């Protein structure tokens, strides 16, 4: 199936395209679909924001659309930064500033209390307005410094509980961050991959129901 990925984030686009193409789908970017808007993410939850983005982009291009809204929820910060993850430090998409603010907020918090999870809400939307949302989570913790160069956003600080190992997952005994994992290792356990896997599993039912 051909999907438009509702994102202007090149890193997120690459990840969504990699995962969905591995499932046998074709993915085009917003710009390739001739859409150059950035919907306001006014939702109170990841799911609400994913729906906002998917419906806006789908309505603009008239093609099936997949949107992801995701973020980091830290236990010691009562779930923050949450839906404000991309603009935690005040400027949308400033990864460096966001990571530094997170480290400041957790200054003095011991390792045992640095639990966190990445959450992804993926919305698939059809031109007739039918849509569905799928949630994926990846548990882990927040490190004390940034490590790795393979990721984006909070990836250099997030230490997943498990890592991918072929078709299986194993405990992350080395304490590697998202940004220290290969693409395959991350895709086996990431919040976004898990949400997209749920979409893939449910897609035949969703399409048949809305035929």
> Which positions are catalytic?
69
Q: Where are the alpha helices (DSSP H) in 147-190?
A: 183-187
Place of tokens 């003095």: 108
Place of tokens 């004390």: 144
DSSP 8-state code for residue 111: G
Q: Which structure tokens are listed for 176?
A: 């590697």
Q: Which structure tokens are listed for 54?
A: 């998917």
> Residue 146 CB: number of other CB atoms within 10 A?
18
Residues across the chain: 211
């Amino acid at each position: 199936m051909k999907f438009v990925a509702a994102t202007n984030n090149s890193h997120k686009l690459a990840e969504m395209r990699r995962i969905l193409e591995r499932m046998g789908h074709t993915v085009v970017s917003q710009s390739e679909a001739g859409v150059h808007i950035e919907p306001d993410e006014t939702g109170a939850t990841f799911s609400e924001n994913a729906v906002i983005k998917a419906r806006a982009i789908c309505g603009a291009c008239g093609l099936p659309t997949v949107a992801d809204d995701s973020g980091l929820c830290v236990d010691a910060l009562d779930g923050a930064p949450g839906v404000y993850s991309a603009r935690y430090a005040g400027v949308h998409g400033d990864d460096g500033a966001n990571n530094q603010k997170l480290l400041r907020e957790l200054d003095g918090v011991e390792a045992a209390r640095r639990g966190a999870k990445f959450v992804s809400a993926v919305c698939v939307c059809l031109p007739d307005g039918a849509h569905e949302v799928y949630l994926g989570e990846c548990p882990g913790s927040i490190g004390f410094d940034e490590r790795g160069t393979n990721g984006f956003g909070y990836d250099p600080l997030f230490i997943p509980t498990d890592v991918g190992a072929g078709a299986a997952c194993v405990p992350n005994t080395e304490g590697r961050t998202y940004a220290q994992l290969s693409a395959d290792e991350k895709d086996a356990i990431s919040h976004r991959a898990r949400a997209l896997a749920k979409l893939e599993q449910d897609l035949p039912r969703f399409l048949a129901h809305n035929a």
